[in-house]
Amino acid sequence: AQKITQTQPGMFVQEKEAVTLDCTYDTSDPSYGLFWYKQPSSGEMIFLIYQGSYDQQNATEGRYSLNFQKARKSANLVISASQLGDSAMYFCAMREGLSSGSARQLTFGSGTQLTVLP
Amino acid sequence: SQTIHQWPATLVQPVGSPLSLECTVEGTSNPNLYWYRQAAGRGLQLLFYSVGIGQISSEVPQNLSASRPQDRQFILSSKKLLLSDSGFYLCAWSPDSLNTEAFFGQGTRLTVV
């Protein structure tokens, strides 16, 4: 089974509007972390935001916020006031905790290609 | 501050030729190291990870191998490349911490012809 699912292969948003990129995850580990990365056409992976499974509040970083719904196992990324430079591939990723016996590797979803329209 | 270097940035290799991609990390000790591969327009697939010198775990059986000869050096190799080995290869490191992101190198775009 997929551990990270991103159901939107592509999304379009008008400049200055907000957009939500969906991410659902699957884990039985009570301790985990959720991450969002941005990958522009250059290929570099840019870390955007982190949410821990025990965090009580939704994470925010500037124009990025994470809508964390633990019971539904979703961690959607919200980008407010979209800019042309936000056009890129966006990846949701998860790192599971000690009980999984993992080496802290990130497991990635298939990504969402966001295009911001002028 | 910590930095990660990965090279080369691009590589075109014939089928059957060997491969060696190198990744080094500076400014930290005993990092967890990872090799990912990304097919065009797809997500990242974990290939190998290492929690220490000489300790390599493979996630996907394939034509590739990895080695960690030094604490902050991670090498991805192949003895004979296949066409299906083409892709974008990313090296990454992270501290052994649940709540810290992984830091990625700039990537190597490999085309096997």
Contact B98 A31 (CB under 8 A): yes
Contact indicator for A17, A29 with CB cutoff of 8 Å: no
Could A111 and B57 be called an inter-chain contact, meaning their C-beta atoms sit closer than 8 Å?
A: no
pLDDT at B77 over 80: yes
Closest CA to A95 of A53, A59, A43: A53
Q: Residue A26 is inside which H or E element, if any?
A: none
Nearest-angstrom CA–CA distance, B100 and A57: 17
Q: So what's the pLDDT on residue A99?
A: 56
A&B contacts, CB < 8 Å = 64
Q: To the nearest 5 percent, what fractions of chain A are helix, strand and coil?
A: 5, 50, 45
> How confident is the model over B66-86, as a mean pLDDT?
95
A50, B42: Cβ pair inside 8 Å? no
Q: Which stretch of A23-27, B12-16, B28-32 has the lowest confidence by average pLDDT?
A: B28-32
Question: For residue B60, what pLDDT is reported?
Answer: 80
Closest-CA distance, B17 to chain A, in angstroms, reads: 25
CB contact under 8 A, B109 and A111: no
Q: Contact A31/B44, CB-based, under 8 Å? A: no
- Strand segments (E) across B1-113: 3-7, 10-13, 19-26, 32-38, 44-52, 55-58, 65-70, 73-78, 87-94, 103-104, 108-112
B interface mutation test: which of A39, A45, A53 has the most B CBs within 10 A?
A45
Q: Decide: A64 and A73 in contact? Cβ < 8 Å.
A: no
**Residue ranges of chain A with pLDDT lower than 70?**
1, 98-104
pLDDT for the residue numbered A83: 97
pLDDT of res. A91: 97
